Amino acid sequence: MNSKLIKVNIDCIHDVLYYKKLNNGMEIFMLPNSNVSNVYATFTTKYGSAIDEFVPIGENKMIKVPSGVAHFLEHKVFEQEKRIPPFEFYSKSGTNCNAHTSLKNTTYEFIGPNNFQENLEYLLDFVQDPYLTDENVEKEKGIIEQEIKMYMDSPYWTMYDGIRNNSFEINPTKYPIGGTVESIYKINKGVLEKCYNTFYHPANMFLVITGNFDPEEAITIIEVNQQKKQYGKMRDLKVREYKEKDEVVKKDEIVIRNVDMPKLSFGIKINIKKIPIDNEYKLHMYISLLFNILFGVSSKFFEKMNNRKYLAMPLGIDKVVATNHLLVTLVCETNYPNKLVNEIKCELDNIKIDEEELNIYKKCMISDCIRSFDNIIDINDIIVSDVINYGKYINNTVDIIKKLNISEFNTVIKNIDFNNVSVYTVVPNNFQEKAG
């Protein structure tokens, strides 16, 4: 094994993750698994839709770009001048490729059992060499406009965008990831080049590989590939920090869509900096435990709501981190949205969790953590999420979970304002809630 590879011990599976930071600043995380046939590789830039004001590389003044640039750029990275298109390249070897943009990052990926070296080299090459022209940028606007309109027709996308917009005042987390039809027509080649050159520098990117591969072979492929490319030294990125207020912007909104059953999104906006827990990862663990205990598939709440016919499926639990705030959202379909909202508020007003119940859910969380290593996509996603949110892979998750205790748990509960809520409901035309 290459002596320069750092071996990071993983506490719950008695295995190691291989890590290296290249001379150009790119970080590599590799977790081999000989029990599977596929290899899953993700190449991520720490640039997502929530970054819209920054100082471009080579400049001194902060600029504001239109909403949706990160997603637009994701589309254009797939444009190649001399290479065959990525989808065509990967399909020849039975490999799937894709990409997605989130609030904090943009990730390009492939998964397949064959042609590992060629697939890895091509991933690095096409992401690091997009083809931008005034003509192909203009052409892409119509394609993205249709995509945005498709999302706008989706009640679930309407809910996810709506609850963020109503919860945040100025943080760009409030805006749709893909932007709006109006905002994308303000994007041009110059804007895309500034964003690409600033945020797609190797020092702002990282590669995660999981599955059946040899880490020594992989790091050799990557290093040879990167040595052929020239990048200047990256300076510290200057991105605007938003002083977001603690209160939600709008407490309640009802929109009418062509749906069969009402869809409910219940958001709690939490200032995590006001909770005296010394470790942000541990704090997120406590908050995840709290909402799983209260509203998860095994919760007494779900059993009660299911018996009353208020819920047929458990509440979905979604979390969005936005600098100092965490938005926890409960999502579901229900014919009784108003009654369910009252039941959720009642549950939050009367939280009673003892140490025994906490320990039961801790064991479940540990089991889920261990099982994630059997799935090369799940563990890759976890590594990407850790690096984006905490700046590194958290390799001692089980140890952290074991040390969670009822005293700190109650401190977390005590410091959350459960009345700081925004409710977003999508209902059919002429909807009237049933008696129940």
Residues 83 and 131: beta-carbon distance below 8 Å:
no
CA dihedral 241, 318, 101, 169 (to 10 degrees): -30
| 391-411 per-residue burial string, b: 16 or more CB within 10 A, e: under 16 | eebbbebbeebeebeeebbee
Question: Does residue 367 sit in helix, strand or coil?
Answer: helix
| Distance (Å, whole) CA 421 – CA 433 | 21
Ramachandran category for residue 277: left, alpha or beta (phi over 0 → left; psi -120 to 50 → alpha): beta
- Please, which residues have CB within 8 angstroms of residue 351's CB and are 6 or more apart in sequence? 290, 294, 413
Of 27, 53, 59, 74, the catalytic one is 74
Residues 404 and 126: their CA atoms lie apart, in Å, by 44
Q: Which two tokens stand for residue 173?
A: 């987390």
For the question of residue 74 being annotated catalytic, the response is yes
Burial class (CB in 10 A: 0-12, 13-18, 19+), 42: buried
- Catalytic sites, residue numbers: 74
